[in-house]
Structures are given as structure tokens and as C-alpha cells.
């Protein structure tokens, strides 16, 4: 079974590190902007593009490395299929997975853009109100990109890709599926039902598609379960 969590952890760890350097530069900018007149402040903030600065700080490179992890997951799914005598995915199947991967990466770019917009709004609001630099820096200290929302978006995207790649490779073949993952107090009712109703020999493809947690959806955001071939 593919392990997506290490790829997610590595990405979030990288973002945490690059954010330290980004915030250090931002704090210097805050101290300089605090000396500006209202007109100078307005002109400076109009030209300020924190999204570009986030990308230049290393976020773009981290996304490239995460992109490479998607390829590794696909290779693992193909190898799993080949062990069972199934020919690798090609044509529209590969193109579709490429589109899914690109959409997931775009979503993480959107997270950075959203973060930069929040920072810019708070930065201008605090500076325009005349707050001292140290207080502004303190006010922005809790506004981080490498937070829960980014982690959930990263995990859900790559986990869904992993499951979808496996499904597309085995789509239409006579295999049985099992819903792999924990059953505990955190388990959603939909996932609990899918695990509890699993036939002794596993689900057929048609049966999976009629469950509450079909391929590509599972239990929703941050779901810890995967569809695996038995």
C-alpha cells in the first residue's frame, strides 16, 4: 500500500521552514513601511505582491517536489497492477490523472494566494491605523500558511489521487476491493458503514460505486481510508 503521509509531512515541513525566512523579511518590511506617510503607504501596498514573495521564498520549489511524489505514487500503483498481470495505464487514463494532479497543485497555489491576501489586508489595516511595528508583527504572528488548512488540502488531494490512480488501473477488471483504514472514535459514520458492510470476499467495483464512500470520494476531507485491491 502506498504511503502518502510522508510526502505530506515533508511538504508541510518545508513550508514551515521557508515561512520563517519569509516572515523575517516581512518583519523588516513592516518596520520600513511604518515610517511611510499615508500616501507612501498606499503606493507601496498597491505594488506589494506577497504571493510572488511566497513563491520566491521556496513555495514553488516545494510544490515541484510534491508534484514528483505524485509520480512516485502512480508508479507504485502501476507496479502493484503488474504483479497481478495487469497492463499499465495509458492514454486518456494517464491524461486524466495528470489533470487531477495539476488541479490539486493549483489548489495549493490558491491556498498560498489566499494567505497572501489575508496578510496584505491585515498589514495595510494595521499600518494605516498607525500601530507600532512590534505590535503589528505580534498581530500577524498567528497568521501562517503552514497550518491545518494547508495540511488537510495537501493530504486530501494526494490521497484522492492515489486512490483514483489505483481505481483507473483496475477499472473494469474482475478484482475485489477492501476499504482499508482505522475503525475508531474518529471514524466517520459513512466510513464505518462501508467497513461494516464489506462482504466477506470484498467489494466488487459496482458495489464500491454504490457505497457512501466511492472511489475518488471516500469519507471526505482528511479521510484516513483507502480503497485497496484484495
Eight-state DSSP code of residue 56: I
Cβ count near 221 (within 10 Å): 12
Quote the pLDDT of residue 58: 97
Q: Report the distance separating Cα 107 and Cα 157, nearest Å.
A: 9
Residues 6+ apart with CB under 8 A from 182: 224, 225
Q: Report the distance separating Cα 94 and Cα 8, nearest Å.
A: 22
Q: 21: burial class by Cβ within 10 Å (0-12, 13-18, 19+)?
A: exposed
Q: Report the distance separating Cα 223 and Cα 43, nearest Å.
A: 45
Q: What is the pLDDT of residues 89-137, one digit of tens each?
A: 666 777 898 999 999 999 999 999 999 999 999 999 999 999 999 999 9
What nine digits make up the cell of 11?
511538504
Band of the pLDDT at 2, cuts 50, 70, 90? low
Band of the pLDDT at 198, cuts 50, 70, 90? very high
Q: What is the pLDDT of residues 26-65, one digit of tens each?
A: 999 999 999 999 999 999 999 999 999 999 999 999 999 9
In b/e form, how buried is each residue of 92-130, taking b as 16+ CB within 10 angstroms?
Answer: eeeeebeebbeebbeebeebbeebbeebeeebbebbeee
Quote the pLDDT of residue 94: 78
Q: Report the distance separating Cα 28 and Cα 32, nearest Å.
A: 6
What nine digits make up the cell of 184?
475508531
- Sequence ranges of the domains in the chain: 5-171, 174-230
Residues 6+ apart with CB under 8 A from 126: 135, 136, 139, 140
Amino acid at each position: 500500500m502506498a504511503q502518502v503521509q510522508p510526502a505530506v509531512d515533508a511538504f508541510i515541513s518545508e513550508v514551515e521552514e521557508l515561512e520563517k525566512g519569509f516572515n523575517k523579511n516581512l518583519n523588516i518590511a513592516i518596520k520600513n513601511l511604518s515610517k511611510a506617510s499615508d500616501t507612501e503607504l498606499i503606493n507601496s501596498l498597491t505594488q506589494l505582491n506577497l504571493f510572488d514573495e511566497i513563491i520566491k521564498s521556496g513555495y514553488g520549489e516545494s510544490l515541484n517536489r510534491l508534484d514528483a511524489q505524485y509520480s512516485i505514487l502512480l508508479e507504485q500503483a502501476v507496479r502493484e497492477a503488474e504483479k497481478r498481470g495487469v497492463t499499465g495505464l495509458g492514454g486518456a487514463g494517464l491524461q486524466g490523472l495528470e489533470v487531477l494532479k495539476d488541479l490539486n497543485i493549483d489548489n495549493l497555489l490558491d491556498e498560498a494566494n489566499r494567505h497572501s491576501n489575508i496578510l496584505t489586508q491585515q498589514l495595510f489595516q494595521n499600518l494605516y491605523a498607525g500601530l507600532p511595528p512590534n505590535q503589528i508583527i505580534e498581530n500577524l504572528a498567528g497568521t501562517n500558511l503552514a497550518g491545518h488548512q494547508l495540511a488537510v488540502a495537501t493530504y486530501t488531494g494526494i490521497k484522492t489521487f492515489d486512490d483514483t490512480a489505483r481505481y483507473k488501473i483496475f477499472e473494469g477488471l474482475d478484482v475485489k476491493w477492501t476499504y482499508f483504514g482505522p475503525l475508531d472514535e474518529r471514524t466517520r459514520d459513512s466510513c464505518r458503514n462501508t467497513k461494516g458492510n464489506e462482504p466477506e470476499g470484498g467489494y466488487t467495483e459496482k458495489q464500491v460505486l454504490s457505497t457512501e464512500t466511492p472511489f475518488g470520494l471516500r469519507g471526505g476531507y482528511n479521510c484516513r481510508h483507502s480503497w485497496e485491491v484484495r
